[in-house]
Amino acid sequence: MKGSPSPRNFLQWFDPRGRSAGSWGFMLNRITGLGLVLYLAMHMIVLFQLTRGAEAYDSFIQLMKNPIFIIGELLVIAAGIMHGINGIRIGLTSFGIAVRYQLTMLIIAGIISAGGILFFAIHMLGGA
């Protein structure tokens, strides 16, 4: 069956050509979800490393003050916000609510997400 998940057509899930607004939003949720799962795995590895003692914890805190890691944390927050807001949109349309307004809801979800990301960016990058 065309479109059913299989290893053979896995990359087609992420192919943006010829997709509707709802599909674009669903693809965004897939990508942010995969990113969040990757982050969770890395987070667990780092937390395990912190069991080595106070010195490991102190060096970890110093490392996390590096601007590259701060931007990485901002990307994780951005993915979480986008995934959550877009997930609400997907949930509504799954129940048949406002299906005709996929593009409008995707734009609104994007605006709300951008506002949340901007808020965190200002606070994390030292603007407040």
**Domain range summary for the chain, segments of one domain joined by +:** 21-124
> C-alpha angle 43/48/51, rounded to 5°?
135
pTM of the model: 0.78
pLDDT category at 2 given cuts 50, 70, 90 is low
Long-range contacts formed by 53-60: CB under 8 A, 24+ apart: none
CA contacts within 13 A on the Cβ side of 97: 7
| 90, 26 contact by CB (below 8 A) | yes
**DSSP of 75-124:** HHHHHHHHHHHHHHHHHHHHTTSSGGGHHHHHHHHHHHHHHHHHHHHHHH
Distance CA(128)–CA(119), nearest Å, equals 10
Question: Would you state the pLDDT for residue 40?
Answer: 94
pLDDT value at 25 more than 70? yes
Question: Would you state the pLDDT for residue 4?
Answer: 63
- Is the backbone of residue 6 left (phi > 0), alpha (psi -120 to 50) or beta? beta
CATH number for the domain running over 21-124: 1.20.1300.10
| 22, 102 contact by CB (below 8 A) | yes
Between residues 105 and 63, which one has the greater pLDDT?
A: 105
Give the Å distances, CA to CA, from 21 to 14, 28, 107. Answer: 14, 11, 9
